[in-house]
A and B are shown apart, each in its own frame.
Chain A
Amino acid sequence: MDKVTYITGRLLQMIPTVIVITVLVFLIVRLIPGDPAVTYLGIRATPEKIADLNARWGLDKPIYVQFGLFVVNIFKGDLGESLISRIPVIDLIKMRLPLTLFMAAYAAIIAVLCAVPLSLVAAMNKDKFIDQVIRAVFVTILSTPGFFIGILLLIVFSVKLQLFPVGGVGATFTAKLRDLFLPSLTLGLGLMAVLTRNLRDGIIGILRSEHVVFAHAKGLSERLIMLRHVLRNAMVSGLTILGIYMSWLVGGAVIIETVFALPGIGYTMVQAILGRDYPTVQALTLVFGILVSLIYLITDVVYSFLDPRVSL
């Protein structure tokens, strides 16, 4: 089976999951107590307006018809209108999703760039002082909630040292890199901790393995062995961890965006829940679900390129 067939196959596999997610999301909103039309109209509610809105939204039709309309609308790109900001949800998503994706990618890159050298140092100095320090630091990070680390970083770097802005984000790419550094760092710290631990264990295991012994027996230089045989092999397994925890990143965005007041979909979701903006909640849940499934798909595919033992 070649790569194209594999990818297509995985995409098709995603479909049942997405369907179930869609159904669930649809049902969730219908489960909310209270009448959405009443909530929407607020104090301006009158029986005629309520009935009118219900008819317009199709809420008076049988549930399966509603679901059908729901699905059709999704394909049309119509996800409803936000109750808070009165703009189409799809526009809201288009405005805010890129920021969250940028942060997630930024966080992942920071995490990987730091985890690789740290894990190498830790593994090669196993149980010595530097290794214990690295592990202790990461245990502390994992035991501390992300929002608190974010606030600490804000206090130190934004308020006291004035290196980064306290909130909001600039327009240009470089402005983004600077303004989103602290939030992405905060977001990526948990991933960095897990990645370092996993890579460190992987490297230790590989260093003890027979094939490193054999590489030494071949007379290869220490540097070559480290780079080509140890690191590369460890990274292949590290990638699976990255894939699993990418969804962590996306979830963590919900909190970090609130801490740093960044207009991404996480922040939007929290606001939508606090403000009972059901169309937005519904749409965003769907977006999150699809996003995570896509991330798993991409991870699987990339992994299959890297590890030749994966038979397609």
Chain B
Amino acid sequence: MGDLLRVENLKTYFKTQNGVIKAVDDVSFSVTQGEVLGLVGESGSGKSMTCRSIMRLIAHPGKIVSGKIWFQGEDILSWPMNRLVNYRGAQVSMILQEPMTALNPVQTVGLQIEETIIQHERISKNSARDRSIELFRKVGIPAPERRIKEYPHQFSGGMRQRVMIAIALACRPKVLLADEPTTALDVTIQDQIIRLVEALQDEMGMSVVWVTHDLGVVAQLCDRVAVMYAGHIMELADVIELFENSRHPYTRGLLESIPSGETREVQKLIPIQGQPPDLCNLPAGCPFIPRCRYSDKSCTSADLTLREVKPGHLSACKRFEEIWN
């Protein structure tokens, strides 16, 4: 099938004092070589946890309860720790939302790139140093020879994010997981970073999973999109198909609540009613029921398996045919 990465029925649960949080509840999707998949949802939808599960970075009280994650035909969830160390950072890399907390404040950025390179490839320190300078140049950090010796707090927010990208790409991974990398940056910088990732992705042919809550970013960058809510995937489609022919009430709600900026007439923004879900106490059936305009009694016994709308377009809404045809 040509899938580089395939997530199959992934369930990641957290055991807390208030109950069990089903952060990722039976999630399945795949990523092919060279494509950019967007993972969209609000806070608590499970998009970050999905990425961390793919990296097997889930720690107590969280646990990957069941499912499989196929990378190049092998299930990484069955791997022992020492194989994982070769996988992370080298085959699949991740960048995080807030570079100031993600980078070690008392270590130079140069060291932080070099240690990744040295960990995965047996090259000398000097070669690693040259490579990191080159990487800095590639991600657009001026005067790399000087800046490589500096500390994270000496960089601006956008520059720090570039540093993190440089680190993530140092060993030419096949898949890049980007967990809301531009959320903490202002819009102009955001745009620069997105273009940078686009260019790098083009050049290196790697796949990207881009996590965001911003549909605008999705439109700009992604080939396919998965929309998540309360730990489930609600809809999965090509980006244009999603924007033009969405078949899920939640996605529709998201699309209706952002201004289009295209029409000149006064536009009414329709927010999604209700509150974000309490992940410990989800109602029976579809978790979106409390906020859904279209729900009826049958939704409380719905299961959320993805149904085909047309080839390449899946929706978890049991009633999408009734609602929109």
**Which of A's residues lie within 8 Å of B, judged by CB?**
209-211, 213-222, 224, 228-229, 232-233, 236, 306-309
Min CB–CB distance B313 → chain A (angstroms): 32
Q: Does B151 lie within 8 Å of A308, measured CB to CB?
A: yes
A211 vs B111: C-alpha distance when bound (angstroms): 14
Query: Chain A interface mostly helix, strand, loop or mixed?
Result: helix
Q: How far is the CA of A228 from the CA of B119 in the complex (A)?
A: 13
Report whether A219 and B120 are in contact in the complex, using a CB–CB cutoff of 8 Å. Answer: yes
**B94 within 8 Å of A (CB atoms):** yes
Contact indicator A233/B106 (Cβ below 8 Å): yes
Given A210-B96, A216-B57, the answer on whether A221 and B85 have CB atoms closer than 8 Å is: yes
Does B273 sit within 8 A of A, measured CB to CB?
no
Give the residue name and chain of the A residue nearest to B173 (CB). A219
A308 to B107, CA, bound (A): 8
Q: How far is the CA of A211 from the CA of B101 in the complex (A)?
A: 6
Complex contact B57–A213 (CB within 8 A):
yes
Residues in A whose Cβ lies below 8 Å from that of B106: 232-233, 236, 306-309
Assess whether A219 is in contact with B119, with CB atoms less than 8 Å apart. yes
Query: Which residues of the other chain, A, contact B104 by a CB distance below 8 angstroms?
Result: 211, 215, 229, 233
Residues on the A chain within 8 Å of B236, using CB? none
**A residues less than 8 Å from B96 (CB atoms):** 210, 213-214, 217
Q: Beyond A213-B96, A228-B107, A228-B115, list 8 extra A-B contacts (CB 8 Å).
A: A211-B105, A213-B52, A216-B55, A219-B87, A219-B120, A222-B81, A229-B104, A232-B106
* A306 contact set on B, CB distance < 8 A: 106
Q: Which residues of chain A have C-beta atoms less than 8 A from B68's C-beta?
A: none
Bound complex: CA A307 to CA B153 (Å): 12
* A219/B89 in contact, CB under 8 A: yes
The one of A209, A211, A218, A233 that contacts B119, using a Cβ cutoff of 8 Å: A218
A209 and B101 within 8 A (CB): yes
A–B pairs, 9, beta carbons within 8 Å: A211-B101, A214-B103, A218-B116, A220-B85, A220-B89, A229-B107, A236-B106, A306-B106, A308-B151
Cβ contacts under 8 Å, B211 to chain A: none
Is A217 a contact of B103 with CB atoms below 8 Å?
no
The answer to whether A224 and B101 have CB atoms under 8 Å apart is: no
Residue interface mask B146-182, A partner, CB < 8 A = 1: 0000010100000000001001000000000000000
Render B114-129 as a binary contact track against A, CB cut-off 8 A, 1 for contact: 0110011000000000
Give bound CA distance, A309 to B104, whole Å. Answer: 11
Nearest A-chain residue to B119, judged by Cβ: A220
Known A-B contacts A217-B88, A218-B88; A210 and B102 likewise in contact (beta carbons under 8 Å): yes
For residue B220, CB closer than 8 A to chain A, the reply is no
CA distance A214 to B55 in the complex (A): 11
Query: What are the nearest 9 A-B pairs in CB distance?
Result: A219-B89, A219-B88, A210-B101, A218-B89, A214-B102, A217-B94, A218-B116, A308-B151, A210-B102
Instruction: Choose among A209, A215, A309 the residue that contacts B153 (Cβ–Cβ < 8 A).
Output: A309
In the bound assembly, the distance between CA atoms of A80 and B9 in angstroms comes to 85
A233 to B102, CA, bound (A): 14
Residues of B near A307 (CB, < 8 A) are: 106
Is B214's CB within 8 Å of the partner chain A?
A: no
Q: Is B43 an interface residue (CB 8 A)?
A: no
Which residues in A have their C-beta under 8 angstroms from that of B55? 216-217
Q: Indicate if the CB atoms of B116 and A220 lie closer than 8 Å.
A: yes
A residues near B119, Cβ cutoff 8 Å: 218-221, 224
Closest partner residue, chain A, to B117 (CB atom): A218
- In the assembled complex, the CB of A303 is this many whole angstroms from the nearest CB of chain B, namely 11
1/0 per residue B68-94: CB within 8 Å of A? Answer: 000000000000010011111110011
CB contact under 8 A between A219 and B86, given known A211-B103, A214-B96, A229-B104: yes
How far is it, in angstroms, between the C-alpha of A185 and the C-alpha of B120 when the chains are bound? 44
Q: Enumerate chain B residues within 8 angstroms of A216, measured Cβ to Cβ.
A: 55, 57, 88
**Least CB separation from A210: chain B residue:** B101
A211 to B93, CA, bound (A): 14
Is B134 an interface residue, CB under 8 A from the partner?
A: no
Question: Min CB distance, B45 to chain A, in Å?
Answer: 19
Compute how far the CA of A307 lies from the CA of B94 in the bound complex, rounded to whole angstroms.
27
A43 vs B193: C-alpha distance when bound (angstroms): 90
Q: How far is the CB of B30 from chain A (nearest CB, A)?
A: 21
Determine if B98 is an interface residue (Cβ-Cβ < 8 Å). Answer: yes
Determine whether the beta carbon of A217 is less than 8 Å from that of B93. Answer: yes
User: How many Å lie between the Cα of A226 and that of B284 in the bound state?
Assistant: 44
Chain B residues with CB under 8 Å of A228's CB are 107, 115
Question: In the complex the two chains form, what is the Cα distance from A52 to B14 in whole Å?
Answer: 85
